[in-house]
Chains A and B, each alone.
Chain A
Amino acid sequence: MQIKNIAEIIKADVIAYETGIEHEVHVAFGSDLMSDVLAYVEGDTLLITGLVNHQVIRTAEMLDIKVILFVRGKRPTEDVIALANEKKITLMVTQKPMFTVSGLLYQEGLRGIEL
């Protein structure tokens, strides 16, 4: 599923590295625990989280994650957005909570990672 389709489905705003919206992800993982993200996620995954600090971008960088969706109306600060732009990681924000966006995306065919 292309990032721009994801943004459309959940009506999210793209706030960093808009160039990346053509990129495709094959699975998604939702978590506020970066420790678990590091333990289970591989590249080409949509990361859904309510955490908005530097470490989310660093975690994505280490795992080659290209896109992060921030839920529950959380918005990262400008320096976090700048780091994402530098690392070519697309950031999206939505007011919706994690369960709702997960359900909407699942309905459209996006699946979770296999543990």
Chain B
Amino acid sequence: MGSIIKNEENVAMRLNYTVDNDDFTRAGEASSKIKQMLKQLAIDANIVRRVAIATYEAEINLVIHSNGGTIEVFIKQDCIELYVEDNGPGIKDVSLAMTKGFSTATAVAREMGFGAGMGLPNMEKVSDTFEIESEVGVGTRIKMVVFYNTK
């Protein structure tokens, strides 16, 4: 842990949300607020959509897998940076977790329509840069960047 560093330079606007674990009814509220804010700022619809998918997948992961965590959004001149951080339990094998179709989700999560093993790969797909680090017993951190003029 420690390779992902928050780049706090030139942040025009900062949004911060706490996500509780196991709260399926509220899962998606943070992503919904982020999406509404980006729309209000008149950010391109395709960019808004990609950020919405990335934050929503992250939020669902926090609800399903973590002991609770945060989603932080840095809105900058040329990009949007997303930082997702949780308080554990951590991922044993990150490259396995990144494999499409691999999932350790509970039966409850599957009943909600998740746990298909698409979350992390999908977050990587919609972002321009994707970094993840995790340590068992400590937690997981993800940084995603979506630039305004790519994909």
Q: Contact residues of A with B, CB < 8 Å?
A: 32-39, 42-43, 49, 51, 53-56, 58-59, 61-64
Establish whether residues B28 and A36, one from each chain, have CB atoms under 8 Å apart when the complex forms.
Answer: no
Establish whether residues A34 and B113, one from each chain, have CB atoms under 8 Å apart when the complex forms.
Answer: yes
Closest to A53 in B: B112
Residue B81, interface by CB 8 Å: no
Stretch in B1-9, B11-19, B50-58, B72-80 with 4+ CB within 8 Å of A: B50-58
- Shortest distance from the beta carbon of B21 to any chain A beta carbon, whole Å: 15
Residues of B within 8 A of A58 (CB): 27-28, 31-32, 56
A interface, over-half SS = helix
Establish whether residues A51 and B52, one from each chain, have CB atoms under 8 Å apart when the complex forms.
Answer: no
Interface residues contributed by chain B, number (CB under 8 Å): 25
- Measured in the bound complex, the distance between the Cα atoms of B117 and A11 in whole Å is 35
Neighbour of A55 across the interface among B35, B113, B122, CB < 8 A: B113
Residues of A within 8 A of B53 (CB): 38, 62-63
Residue B118, interface by CB 8 Å: yes
- Shortest distance from the beta carbon of A50 to any chain B beta carbon, whole Å: 10
- Measured in the bound complex, the distance between the Cα atoms of B28 and A35 in whole Å is 13
Residues of A within 8 A of B35 (CB): 61-62
Residues of B within 8 A of A59 (CB): 28, 56, 113
Establish whether residues B49 and A33, one from each chain, have CB atoms under 8 Å apart when the complex forms.
Answer: no
Residue B68, interface by CB 8 Å: no
- Measured in the bound complex, the distance between the Cα atoms of B115 and A51 in whole Å is 14
Establish whether residues B118 and A36, one from each chain, have CB atoms under 8 Å apart when the complex forms.
Answer: yes
- Given known A-B contacts A39-B122, A54-B25, A59-B56, A34 and B112 have beta carbons under 8 A apart: yes
Residues of B within 8 A of A39 (CB): 118, 121-122, 125
Residues of B within 8 A of A56 (CB): 113
Establish whether residues A43 and B49, one from each chain, have CB atoms under 8 Å apart when the complex forms.
Answer: yes
